[in-house]
Structure 1
Amino acid sequence: MNLRTSSLLAMFVAVSALALPAHAASLAFDSDRLIVIPRESRGGINASAAQAAQATQEFARLGLTRGRTLGGPWLGERRPYVLEAPAGVDLLAAAAALRATGAYAAVTPNYRIPLMVTLPNDPYLSDQWYINGGFADVDLPLAWDLEQGSASVTIAILDTGVDTDHPDLASKIRVNAAEIAGNLLDDDANGFVDDVKGWDFGTHDADARPEYTTDPSGIDVGFHGTFCAGIAAAANDNAIGIAGAGWNCRILPLKISHPENGITSEAVAEAFTYAIDNGANVLSLSFGGPGDPGVPEFFQALVDLARAADIVCVAAAGNEGVSTPTYPAACDGVLAVAATDEGNARASFSNWGSWVDIAAPGAGMWSSICQNYEFTELDQIFYLFLFFWDGKNPYMLGDGTSFACPLVAGACGLVRSRWPALSEAATRERLRLTGDVVAYDHPIGPRMNVFRAVSEPIVAVVPASLGGALALTQRSANPSRGELQLALRAPAGGPGEVAVFDAVGRRVRTLARGELAPGVTTLNWDGRDEAGRPAVAGIYWARASIAGVTASTKFVRLR
């Protein structure tokens, strides 16, 4: 690794171990509140009087009182809300007690969540190796020949804010035409005053532009959201700056950071509900943390709400170079994104594991930075010498799964533009199944190929859900020698695959890929890998996936 890359990894909150140590230390959290996501018909804003009374009694017993409700009306009784706590209340114990009742989808402290840091004529395109740079790119120019995205498709960037006046982004911001800017009225009655260009959930106002925000090392990372927005959908073919993957797709800036408090669970929950209420099609989530108490359930509940609204959730896998799951990336129904480099290898900082769905370029990424506040002299020195900023134009270099994530989000925008009726589950599955199989050092899924994602025909409508009934079972003895026979039981057909993986998650052999029939299908593995070589003795997994639902079985192979 060269000095420049090492420095980038060391300094970006979005991409560095400073944001989240490799040992996944516990997250800090506010001492005065919990965030609750209710189940239907229990403790929500529209709950029955009896249910509400019981919930109030539970809260009082734990020393908690009901605070504000988060988000707009679309979610009804599933709307998250805040529980306020006086000094001295053990929030972890209170949250655990409420979760134990089974009445809530999630109860969590207000955690501080780390960041994961047709050829257009854009002048910096030559620096964007991941667009059209040879064997390691994602074939965007070929994809753009077929699909350049739709202004009706919105990619929400939940991050540190987006510079809505940036010359490469100003024309791409989703404008709420039902709101009149500056009249201090909630014209569209969605619960937010003057939300013309997104919302700031960190400081609770209509200005979603970034603020000066430092990481633990004292370096400003407020530009992070603007950087992600540029990769996802900067203006293309405008003779300015860079080219965004989503081309004509629109950007919805949802600022979830506070200049002093960072990103909190409360801000994330409210941003999710806003995105659901206000028509987002794709969420780009370049932040996350370890599985602290309540964190997996918290993010899973939010993801479930988004998926119910047919929104694709894309999340960065993390930058510690480990296999430990991070959230929300490891949640069911999320497209978890690892990072690759210009050499077509897994980026050394990228997390990995069977929970990762897809890989995309995330090292040496060139994108936009904010201009709405001045950098300090120290920041300017770092940006000039480490991030290759020229000191004038609002663009520079960065590494991280944070930046692989919006690239995938932009590609999802193209797919949803090309096939508006395609469900969020089918969109995720399409990105994964059309990826290029690469022999990485650790499992990070296929490398995204946007051209294949928008060009290969759809032969069937993928069902929104298979009801969890997908099953993959063995018909051979276990352990076994020779040929292995498997039975795939699928309640509905659709695009999918069945593959064999070794004990560390490396793909050994693809047994079926494409249109899978409903009912029972018999599959055979002859004990050889894709190159025809005999597989070594050991533990293996067979995994089936259709429409985002997976099933697997473990077996032992003898020589």
Structure 2
Amino acid sequence: MKKVIIIFVSACFIGCSAVRFVGNPITVVSNNSKSNDLFSDELKEQWSLLDIKKDSVPGMSVIRAKNELISDQKSNTVTVAIIDSGVDIEHPYLSSHIWINEDEIPNNKIDDDKNGYVDDIHGWNFLGDSNKENMEYVRLLKKSNPKDSMYNVYNDEILKVVNQTNQTIMRIEELSKLLSVSDSIVSLITGKDNYTLEDLDEIQTAPENEQVLMAIDFIKEAKTRNWNAEGFESAINYYKSRLEYHVNVDFDGRKVVGDDPDDINDIDYGDSNVIGLDKDDARHGTHVSGIVVSIADNVKIMPIRCVPDGDEYDKDVALAIRYAVDNGADIINFSFGKSYSPHPDWVNSAMEYASENDVLIVNAAGNDAKDIDSDSHKSYPSDNNSGVEFIDNLITVGASTFNYTENQIANFSNYGVKNVDVFAPGFQVYSSIPNGEFAYLNGTSMASPNAAGVAAVLRSYYPKLSASTIKKIIINSGVMMHHSINKPRTEDVIGPKAISKSGKTVNLYNALLLASLTKNGK
């Protein structure tokens, strides 16, 4: 134990502070994690909050930290800006946690606080009535001359995505038909429309009845993977929408906004509707917000809508960051990203502005199962500019699962020993969605707010800690991942330190122990 504490100490310049917690940091443990089929619904809903030692689940030890370390401690309110697709601020789980601009009078059509945004009571909507958008490489192609060197690169990207999307639609349609046929066979044999896995196991059939055996096997797999007709239909609609909007060169999603997205000084656009025209379009941002609230009790969510269904604009992101900083955000969550950035200098300058004002940024690594250290798989935004980490207030987070095994990293998560700092729960994460509902979602988009929630707790109980120190604490206090990791969507098995800077997953219990020893906010 002494060695572990010494490692913690050397990482963040330890000294004495007003509140010093006593506890043993969680370190590498043997493989005793629960498998998915051992989860109760309640346990699965909160797996990201659980503890590897007490619950046998590699969550972030949030419940344990609250019970054992901070239950009797006073906290300060922390504001987390959610730069996203919009937030359902009327959701019962979120409504009491929504940031209010006290200097603005609602609905009087006057910029009372003179911050440049009229009636921004709860945040700002840089998309106005827009929602669907092109991918960035489509927008770049439309601006390019066919003789330009990058024109064919953009065009090839479009053709590749169109081909892959059409193939995916065909595959899902095949699975949907197979599910329908298999369901009919099993329903006929069992005499039940709603049958269980136990019912399937009890079916007696001759080995030569291949069609029945195939139907049973497929239904078992479908139940294991949570496949259903509604899910297939939703997936098909998503991919068709991708063809109609994301990679359609004839579509212009920005026209309704009315600004020039290539003019950073053209800032008179958008509105104060942080939900958007349709609550369902705020699903992503609502889920992200709920994750933060599930971890940090004394938190306010500042919704900033600038991420469409497609790629976000650099201008919107840059202005959203500055809005968050100027209006008092302590932490900004980025659950978005893209492969091309026509104006990275605008975003980089805004992130530097956040750094100068001691605002922490938590950034999703992306869901392409790629090494984002590679020049061929760049991800924006990034704190890496031409190989140099130009700010110290940004954490990039990959997605982990509830398996403390070789499969601890989600098979979709990006990774990189230079550009991914740490991992956090991003698989089957349960949180709020619009209209008072809840759902499981996957993605580094879920991992990022899990880390942001931990950061919010740290800033709530240790307000003197700087953004850069919070970053160091989160990285250095994490729990080392399984000793061998399956590299996403490859046959390679590697060590945890070959997958990110730290090789660790975020852990609130450890982070609070380390924070309690940190001196003078440094």
Match of 1:449 in 2: 507
- The alpha-carbon deviation at position 125 of structure 1 amounts to 6.6
Residues 422-461 of structure 1: per-residue CA shift (max 9 Å, x gap): 1110010010010011233451331111011112332434
Q: Is the 8 A contact 2:88 2:282 kept in 1?
A: no
Q: Where is the strand percentage greater, Structure 1 or Structure 2?
A: 1
Match of 1:208 in 2: 274
Q: Which residue of 1 aligns with 2:65?
A: 143
Matched, 1:130 2:37: no
Specify which of 457, 460, 471 is matched with residue 519 of structure 2.
Answer: 460
Shift of 1:266: 1.8
- The CA deviation at 1:299 is 3.1
2:489 aligns with none
The whole-number CA distance in structure 2 between the counterparts of 1:340 and 1:221 is 26
**What SS does the corresponding residue of 1:257 show, helix, strand or coil?**
coil
Match of 1:362 in 2: 426
Asked if 2 retains the 8 angstrom alpha-carbon contact of 1:154 and 1:280, the reply is yes
d(CA) in 1 for partners of 2:274, 2:474:
30
Measure the CA separation in 2 of the matches of 1:311 and 1:348: 31
Equivalent position to 1:189, from 114, 120, 132: 114
Instruction: Tell me the TM-score normalized by structure 1.
Output: 0.51
Alpha-carbon distance change, 330 to 308 in structure 1, aligned in 2, over 3 angstroms: closer
Corresponding residue for 1:224?
284
**What amino acid is aligned across from residue 411 of structure 2 in structure 1?**
S
Q: Which of residues 401, 415, 421 in structure 2 aligns to 1:341?
A: 401
Alignment match of 1:322 (pick from 357, 370, 380): 370
Looking at structure 1, the residues matched to 472 and 93 of structure 2 have their Cα atoms a distance apart, in angstroms, of 31
Pair 398,459 (structure 1): closer, same or farther in 2 beyond 3 Å = closer
Aligned to 2:102, the other structure's residue is in SS state: coil
Question: Following the alignment from structure 1 to structure 2, what is the Cα–Cα distance between the partners of residues 139 and 462?
Answer: 23
Larger RCO, structure (CA 8 Å, separation 6 or more): 2
Deviation at 1:326, TM superposition (A): 1.3
Structure 2 match to 1:174 = 99
Q: What SS does the corresponding residue of 2:302 show, helix, strand or coil? A: strand
1:118 corresponding residue in structure 2? none
Find the counterpart in structure 1 of residue 19 from structure 2.
none
Choose from 434, 452, 466 the match for 1:423: 466
The 1:263–1:293 alpha-carbon spacing in structure 2 relative to 1, beyond 3 Å, is: closer
Q: Is the 8 A contact 2:413 2:443 kept in 1?
A: yes
Aligned residues: 302
Deviation string 1:103-148 (CA, Å, 9 cap, x unpaired) is xxxxxxxxxxxxxxxxxxxx96751211115331110012223347
Tell me which residue corresponds to 2:314: 265
The residue number in structure 1 matching 2:305 is: 255
- Contact 2:80 2:301 (C-alpha < 8 Å) held by counterparts: yes
Higher helix share: 2
Q: Distance in 2 between matches of 1:124 and 1:171?
A: 24
1:329 and 1:337 in contact (8 A); partners too: no
Q: Equivalents in 1 of 2:402, 2:120: separation in Å?
A: 39
Partners of 2:427 and 2:120 lie apart in 1 by 34
| 8 Å Cα contact 2:87-2:282 kept in structure 1 | no
Q: How does 1:13-412 map to 2 (within 5 A)?
A: 127-132=45-50, 134-145=56-67, 146-147=69-70, 150=75, 152-203=77-128, 204-212=270-278, 222-233=282-293, 244-258=294-308, 263-292=312-341, 294-295=343-344, 297-324=345-372, 325-331=378-384, 332=389, 333=392, 334-344=394-404, 345-354=408-417, 355-371=419-435, 394-412=437-455
Contact 1:318 1:402 in 2 (8 A): yes
Q: What is the deviation of 1:166?
A: 0.2
The DSSP-based 3-state class of the residue aligned with 2:96 is helix
Letter in 2 for 1:257: V
Is the alpha carbon distance of 1:462 and 1:270 closer, same or farther for their aligned partners in structure 2, counting shifts above 3 Å? same
Contact 1:366 1:397 in 2 (8 A): yes
Contact 1:150 1:249 in 2 (8 A): no
Distance in 2, matches of 1:462 and 1:175, equals: 28
Question: Residue type matched to 2:302 in 1?
Answer: L
Gap runs ≥5 in structure 1: 1-122, 214-219, 234-243, 372-392, 464-559
| C-alpha separation in 2, matches of 1:411 and 1:269 | 24
Aligned equivalents of 1:262, 1:448: Cα separation in 2: 28
Cα distance in 2, alignment partners of residues 173 and 124 from structure 1: 26
Cα deviations across residues 139-175 of structure 1 (Å, max 9, x unaligned)?
Answer: 0012223347845210000000110100000000011
SS at match of 2:104: coil
Aligned to 1:533: none
Deviation at 1:304, TM superposition (A): 0.9
Aligned to 1:483: none
Verify the 8 A CA contact 1:272 1:306 in the aligned structure 2. yes
Q: Distance in 2 between matches of 1:200 and 1:459?
A: 38
Distance in 2, Cα, partners of 1:270 & 1:459: 33
SS of the aligned residue for 2:480 comes to coil
1:342 Cα offset (Å): 1.1
Q: Deviations over 1:354-392 (max 9, x none)?
A: 111011010011111112xxxxxxxxxxxxxxxxxxxxx
CA distance in 1, matches of 2:348, 2:474: 21
User: Per the alignment, in what secondary structure is the counterpart of residue 367 of structure 1?
Assistant: strand
The 2-side partners of 1:211 and 1:405 are apart by 26
In structure 2, do the counterparts of structure 1 residues 245 and 357 end up closer, same or farther at CA, with 3 Å as the change threshold? same
Question: How many angstroms apart in 2 are the aligned matches of 1:186 and 1:299?
Answer: 25
**1:447 corresponds to which letter in structure 2?**
T
Give the counterpart letter for 2:45 in structure 1. Answer: D
Offset, 1:279: 0.6
* 1:36-65, Cα deviation, whole Å (9 max, x unpaired): xxxxxxxxxxxxxxxxxxxxxxxxxxxxxx
Specify the code of the residue in structure 2 equivalent to 1:364.
Answer: Q
Name the SS of the counterpart of 1:222 in structure 2: helix
C-alpha contact (below 8 Å) 2:307/2:336 kept by paired residues: no
- Residue deviations 1:229-286 (CA, integer Å, cap 9, x gap): 00011xxxxxxxxxx1112211100111357x75212211111111111010000001
Alpha-carbon contact 1:329-1:335 (below 8 Å) kept: no
Q: Give, in whole Å, the separation in 2 of the partners of 1:182 and 1:190.
A: 16
Residues 396/210 of structure 1: CA separation in 2 closer, same or farther (3 Å cut): farther
CA RMSD of aligned residues (A): 2.2
TM-score by length of 2: 0.55
- In structure 2, how many angstroms separate the alpha carbons of the residues matched to 1:152 and 1:357? 26
The answer to which of 350-359 and 328-337 deviates more is 328-337
